[in-house]
C-alpha cells in the first residue's frame, strides 16, 4: 500500500538537503545583511523610523555582527549539532535583521522569508522527532525536518494566494492586475524578444487574465507539494515556471524559493547515484501519525508567538 | 477506499507536513509579516485602472528606462522625484510605486554630471490606462523635467 507521504530522499542520507538549506539561508541572509549595512549607512535616503533602527545605527558593524550570530546558528544546523537550538538562534537574529530592514527600507525583504520558513519547518520537524523517539535518530529527525520544510513552503504559497483573494477577491484575476505589475515595474527591455513578450501581455487582456488566473491556481494549489513526490515535482515545476515568468515580466527575482524547491523536489540522490542507507528507517511504530501533547504545545507556541508579535507585524503590499 | 486502509496510508511525515502547513498559515494570518512568518501579501490589492511609471524620452521621441542614461544634469538642479509633488504636478493618475520612484531617484543621484557628450532628454511620468480591450494601453504623458544625460555605454 502506497503511503500518502513519500520523498525522493527516503532511504538516502539527507546531508545534502541539510547543507543546501543552510547554504541557501546563509546566502540570502548575507545579502540582506549587506543591504541593511548599506542602507543603514545612508540615513539621508533610508532614515531610521523606529527605536530599533535608531539604536542600532550607532553601533558600527552591527549588521555584520547580527549576520555573524545568524551564521553561528546555521553552522549548528549544518553540523547537526543542536539543530533545534541552532535553528531557533538563527531565526531570532534573522528576525532582528528583518525588523531593522523594515524600519529603514519601509518593508521587509520577503525573499528572506522563504528560507526562514524552511528553517522553521526543519526545526519543527526535528522537534517532533525528538518527542516521538527519545533516541532522536538522525534519519527520522531529518525526514520530519524535510516534511516540516515542505509544509511551511507550501503554506507560504497558499498564504500568498489567500492574501490576494481576501484583499481583491475574484478581481485579482482581472486583466488589469498583471498588466499593472508589468507597467509599474519595468515595461521596457533591451532584448527584443523580452520586449515583445511584455508587450503581448500588455496588449492582450486575455493573456493577462490567463496569467493572473494561473498565478492564483499555482499558488493556491501549492498544498499539492505535500502529497507524493511525482505530484510534488510537477507542482514545483509549475511554481518554478511562475517565478520565471515573474522575472521575465516584472524583473522581480525570487531565487530563494526556486532554489529551495529544486533542492526538495528533484530526485537528487538517484541522479547523483547516491548509496542507499544500510539500514533505512523502516515504516514502524515511529512512523505512526502521532501528535505528542508536547508537540501540540510547541505548535501552539508558534501561534502564540504570532499573536504576541502581531502589533509589530508588517502589513502592506 | 475503506477508512482503515486510508489510515494505514497516513504516516508521521504526512502529519508533520500538514501540521506545519496549517500552523504557518494560521500564524502568518495573525501577524502579517514578522520573520519568518509572512502572508506574502505583495501586490495583493486590486490594481488601479491607471498606472504610472517615470521614463526618459530622447530627442527622437523614443522612450527609455532612466537607467539607460547616466551623467544627469537637470534644470532646476534641485529637482527630485517625489511622489506627492508628482501627483500635484501631473494629477492623481500619476502615482508610480514608491520604491520604484525611490530607486530611480537614487539612480539619478548616483549618476550625476559625468563629463561627456550629453544629449537632451525629457523625464516624464507616463500614465497607462488599462481597459479590457485588445491593443496597447492608452498613455498620458506628463513632462517632469528636462535634462542632459549620456547614454550608458556611449564613448565619453
Flag whether pLDDT at B4 surpasses 70.
no
C-alpha span between B96 and B93 (Å, rounded)? 9
Determine the Cα angle at A301 with ends A297 and A302, to 5°: 125
Q: Do B21 and A223 touch (CB under 8 A)?
A: yes
Interface ipTM: 0.95
Q: CA nearest B124: which of B73, B47, B58?
A: B58
Residues of A in contact with B99 (CB under 8 A): 106-107
Residue A100, C-beta contacts closer than 8 angstroms, at least 6 positions apart: A36, A40, A52, A53, A56, A63, A66
Q: CB under 8 Å to A52, separation ≥6 — which residues?
A: A96, A99, A100, A103
- The pTM of this model reads 0.93
Please name which of A44, A120, A131 lies closest in space to residue A84, comparing C-alpha atoms. Answer: A120
The answer to whether A7 faces chain B, any CB pair under 8 Å, is: yes
Angstrom distance (rounded) from CA A27 to CA A118: 14
B155 Cα to chain A: minimum distance (Å): 19
Q: Considering only CB atoms, which chain A residues are within 8 Å of B63?
A: 188
Work out the pLDDT band at B2, boundaries 50, 70, 90. Answer: very low
Q: Which residues of B are less than 8 Å from A194 in CB distance?
A: none
Largest CA distance in chain A: 64
8 Å CB contact of B35 and A116: yes
For residues A201 and A207, give the distance between their C-alpha atoms in angstroms, rounded to a whole number.
Answer: 6
Q: What is the pLDDT of residue A134?
A: 82
Q: Give the residue ranges of DSSP H helices in chain A.
A: 15-40, 51-57, 62-78, 83-105, 110-132, 138-168, 175-185, 192-203, 205-220, 229-250, 255-265, 268-271, 293-309
Are the beta carbons of B16 and A125 separated by less than 8 Å? yes
Distance CA A241, CA A243 (A): 5
Which one, of B43, B35, B23, B36, lies nearest residue A163 by Cα? B43
Q: Is A275 or A149 the better-scoring residue by pLDDT?
A: A149
Name the residue of chain B whose CA is nearest to A111's CA. Answer: B40
How many residues are there in chain A? 317
- Give the number of beta-carbon pairs within 8 Å between A and B: 263
Residues of chain A contacting residue B140, judged by C-beta atoms under 8 Å apart: none
Distance from CA of B126 to the nearest CA of A (A): 10
**Residue A282 touches chain B, beta carbons under 8 Å:** no
For residue A42, give the chain B residue with the closest CA.
B106
> How far, in Å, CA of A256 to CA of A252, rounded?
12
Residues A229-253 have pLDDT tens digits of 999 999 999 999 999 999 999 999 9
A65-103 residue pLDDT tens: 999 999 999 999 999 999 999 999 999 999 999 999 999
Instruction: Say which DSSP state B137 is in.
Output: P
Chain A residues with beta carbon closer than 8 angstroms to that of B108:
none
Distance between CA B61 and CA B37 in Å, rounded? Answer: 47
B-chain residues near A171 (CB < 8 A): 46
SS3 A278: coil
- pLDDT band with cut points at 50, 70 and 90 for residue A135: confident
Query: Nearest by CB to A188, which of B33, B42, B64?
Result: B64
DSSP three-state, residue B36: coil
Alpha-carbon distance B42 to nearest alpha carbon in chain A (angstroms): 4
Residues A102/A312, Cβ–Cβ less than 8 Å: no
Compute the CA torsion angle A72, A74, A79, A83 (nearest 10 deg).
Answer: 100
DSSP state of A286: G
Contact call for B14 and A3, based on CB within 8 A: yes
- Cα–Cα distance list, B15 to A1, A3, A148, A275, B18 (Å): 18, 12, 9, 28, 5
Residues B71-121 pLDDT 10s: 999 988 888 999 899 999 999 999 999 989 999 999 999 998 766 668 999
Taking CB atoms and an 8 Å limit, are B30 and A187 in contact across chains? no
Tens-place pLDDT, residues A209-229 = 999 999 999 999 999 999 989
Say if residue A315 is exposed, middle or buried (CB neighbours under 10 Å; 0-12, 13-18, 19+): exposed
Residues 6+ apart with CB under 8 A from B125: B52, B53, B54, B55, B86, B90, B94, B96, B141, B142, B144
Contacts of B30 in chain A (CB under 8 A): 303, 306-307, 310, 313
The beta-carbon neighbor of B20 closest among A108, A112, A151 is A151
CA-wise closest residue to A252 among A188, A182, A317, A193 = A182
Amino acid at each position: 500500500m502506497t503511503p500518502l507521504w513519500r520523498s525522493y530522499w527516503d532511504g538516502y542520507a539527507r546531508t545534502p538537503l541539510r547543507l543546501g538549506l543552510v547554504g541557501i539561508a546563509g546566502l540570502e541572509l548575507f545579502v540582506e545583511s549587506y543591504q541593511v549595512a548599506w542602507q543603514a549607512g545612508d540615513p539621508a535616503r533610508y532614515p531610521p523610523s523606529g527605536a530599533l533602527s535608531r539604536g542600532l545605527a550607532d553601533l558600527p558593524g552591527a549588521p555584520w555582527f547580527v549576520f555573524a550570530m545568524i551564521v553561528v546558528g546555521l553552522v549548528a544546523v549544518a553540523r547537526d549539532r543542536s539543530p533545534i537550538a541552532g535553528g531557533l538562534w538563527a531565526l531570532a537574529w534573522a528576525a532582528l535583521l528583518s525588523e531593522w530592514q523594515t524600519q529603514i527600507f519601509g518593508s521587509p525583504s520577503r525573499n528572506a522569508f522563504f528560507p526562514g520558513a524552511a528553517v522553521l519547518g526543519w526545526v519543527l520537524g526535528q522537534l517532533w522527532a525528538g518527542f516521538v523517539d527519545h533516541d532522536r535518530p538522525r534519519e527520522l529527525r531529518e525526514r520530519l525536518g524535510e516534511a516540516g520544510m515542505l509544509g511551511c513552503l507550501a503554506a507560504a504559497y497558499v498564504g500568498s494566494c489567500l492574501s490576494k483573494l481576501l484583499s481583491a477577491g475574484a478581481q485579482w484575476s482581472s486583466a488589469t492586475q498583471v498588466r499593472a505589475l508589468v507597467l509599474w515595474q519595468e515595461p521596457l527591455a533591451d532584448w527584443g524578444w523580452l520586449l515583445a513578450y511584455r508587450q503581448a501581455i500588455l496588449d492582450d487582456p486575455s493573456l493577462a487574465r490567463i496569467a493572473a488566473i494561473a498565478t492564483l491556481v499555482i499558488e493556491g494549489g501549492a498544498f499539492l507539494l505535500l502529497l507524493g513526490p511525482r505530484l510534488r515535482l510537477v507542482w514545483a515545476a509549475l511554481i518554478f515556471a511562475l517565478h520565471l515568468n515573474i522575472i521575465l515580466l516584472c524583473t522581480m527575482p525570487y531565487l530563494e524559493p526556486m532554489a529551495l524547491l529544486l533542492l526538495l523536489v528533484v530526485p537528487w540522490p538517484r541522479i547523483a547515484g547516491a548509496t542507499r542507507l544500510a539500514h533505512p528507517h523502516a515504516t514502524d511504530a515511529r512512523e505512526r501519525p502521532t501528535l505528542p501533547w508536547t508537540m501540540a504545545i510547541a505548535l501552539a507556541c508558534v501561534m502564540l508567538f504570532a499573536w504576541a508579535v502581531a502589533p509589530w507585524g508588517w502589513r502592506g503590499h | 477506499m475503506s477508512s482503515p486502509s486510508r489510515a494505514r496510508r497516513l504516516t508521521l511525515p504526512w502529519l508533520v507536513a500538514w501540521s506545519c502547513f496549517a500552523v504557518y498559515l494560521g500564524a502568518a494570518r495573525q501577524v502579517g509579516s514578522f520573520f519568518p512568518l509572512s502572508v506574502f501579501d505583495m501586490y495583493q490589492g486590486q490594481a488601479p485602472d491607471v498606472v504610472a511609471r517615470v521614463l526618459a524620452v530622447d530627442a527622437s521621441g523614443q522612450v527609455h528606462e532612466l537607467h539607460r542614461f547616466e551623467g544627469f544634469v537637470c534644470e532646476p538642479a534641485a529637482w527630485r522625484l517625489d511622489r506627492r509633488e508628482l501627483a500635484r504636478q501631473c494629477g492623481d493618475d500619476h502615482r508610480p510605486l514608491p520604491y520604484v520612484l525611490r530607486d530611480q531617484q537614487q539612480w539619478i543621484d548616483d549618476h550625476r554630471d559625468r563629463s561627456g557628450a550629453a544629449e537632451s532628454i525629457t523625464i516624464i511620468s507616463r500614465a497607462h490606462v488599462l481597459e479590457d480591450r485588445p491593443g496597447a494601453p492608452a498613455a498620458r504623458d506628463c513632462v517632469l523635467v528636462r535634462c542632459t544625460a549620456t547614454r550608458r555605454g556611449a564613448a565619453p
